[in-house]
Amino acid sequence: MLEHSILAWGGGGAGLLLIGEILALRNVNNLKRVLLFSTIAEIGYIGLGIGLGSFAAETGAFLHIGLQSVMRLLVFISACVLIKNAGSSSLNKLSGKWPKNAIYRYDIWFWIVLCNGTIPPI
C-alpha cells in the first residue's frame, strides 16, 4: 500500500511539474501567469521529492516548501509593485519599466534570481 502512495506522489508531482512548465512557456508574455504556472511546477517538484521516498528526497521536499513559500511571496510582492507602477502585466509592456530606485531594482533581481535556485553574488 505504501508503495502505491509513493508512486502516486511521484507520478502526480512529475505531472504537475510538466504541466506547470509547459503552461509557463506558453504564457511567457504575461508575468502573472508565468509566476502562477512556475509555482505549480514547484509544487510538482515537491511532490516528486516526496514520491522518491528516500529520507534525503523527503527532507529536500519539505525544506523546499519552506524556502519557496518565502521566496515566492517576495517575488509576488515585487511583481505586483512592478505591475502597478507599469500599469500592465505584459512583459512586452514591462520592458524598460524598472523602478528608478536602485534598492528596489536590486530587491526584485535578488528574489527572482533566488527563485531560480541560484545564489546571487553579494
Residue 101 confidence (pLDDT) above 70: no
Tell me the pTM. 0.73
Q: What value, to the nearest 5°, has the Cα angle with vertex 120 and ends 71 and 52?
A: 55
Q: Where are the domains of the chain?
A: 2-115
Instruction: Enumerate the H helices of 1-122 as residue ranges.
Output: 2-26, 31-52, 55-86, 91-94, 102-115
- Of 25-29, 50-54, 89-93, 112-116, minimum mean pLDDT range: 112-116
